[in-house]
């Protein structure tokens, strides 16, 4: 199955002074790192965002929410209907340490389930994984009926949840699942000064 790479950058960003995807680690923004990784796997890349002006310089396809923004489920749906392929591989814009090997492993699983996601340290990570167009109708129904919590959607969907034991050889420390949600997260996982330019 051919996939489109999607970077979810549509969050409200209330806990950070700048859009998280534009944070710099060293001399490179997180969004730039993710795009470079994605270019190795996907011919089509979409940034899911309601602030397209922030991402014009990156020369990739942009997709805004087709319903009023209600969280990542709407971003996944909006990206999926804008994608040229039969499914999407999603990553949040604030995951600076995602490993190429993890993406490659999930792509090669070739499961029949319409959703492939991971569990790490007992926690399911729904924003790193594969969503196929098999779920479009159910996804839209969930959104228009106001059931937009992604965990709830997964509970009644056919999913392949890849367990930590299967990923230990790829990412033993689970760095791929680190999100920079707050300045404290930045200090803990990256350190140094938050670059605002």
28-69 residue pLDDT tens: 999 999 999 999 999 999 999 999 999 999 999 999 999 887
Q: Measured in whole angstroms, how far is the alpha carbon of residue 122 from the centre of its chain? A: 19
Query: Which residue has better confidence, 7 or 14?
Result: 7
Residue indicated by tokens 């499961």:
111
Mean pLDDT of the residues in the chain:
90
Smallest Cα–Cα separation from 125: which of 87, 94, 86, 82? 94
| Percent of the chain residues past pLDDT 70, beyond the cut | 93
Query: How long a stretch of residues is the chain?
Result: 197
In the CATH scheme, what is the code of domain 3-189? 3.90.550.10
128-184 residue pLDDT tens: 999 999 999 999 999 999 999 999 999 999 999 999 999 999 999 999 999 887 778
Whether the model clears a pTM of 0.75, i.e. scores above it, the answer is yes
């Amino acid at each position: 199955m051919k996939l489109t790479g999607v970077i979810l950058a549509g969050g409200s960003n209330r806990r950070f002074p700048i859009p998280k995807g534009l944070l710099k680690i060293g001399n490179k923004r997180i969004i730039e790192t993710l795009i470079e990784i994605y270019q190795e796997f996907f011919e089509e890349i979409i940034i899911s965002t309601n602030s397209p002006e922030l991402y014009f310089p990156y020369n990739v396809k942009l997709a805004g929410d087709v319903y009023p923004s209600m969280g990542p489920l709407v971003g996944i749906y909006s990206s999926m209907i804008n994608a040229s392929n039969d499914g999407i591989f999603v990553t949040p814009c604030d995951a600076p340490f995602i490993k190429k090997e993890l993406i490659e492993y999930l792509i090669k699983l070739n499961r029949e389930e319409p959703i492939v996601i991971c569990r790490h340290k007992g926690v399911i990570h729904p924003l790193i994984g594969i969503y196929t167009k098999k779920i479009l109708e159910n996804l839209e129904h969930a959104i228009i009926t106001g059931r937009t919590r992604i965990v709830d959607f997964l509970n009644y969907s056919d999913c392949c949840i890849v367990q930590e034991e299967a990923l230990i050889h790829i990412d033993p420390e689970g760095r791929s699942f680190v999100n920079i949600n707050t300045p404290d997260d930045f200090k803990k996982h990256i350190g140094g000064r938050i670059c605002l330019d």
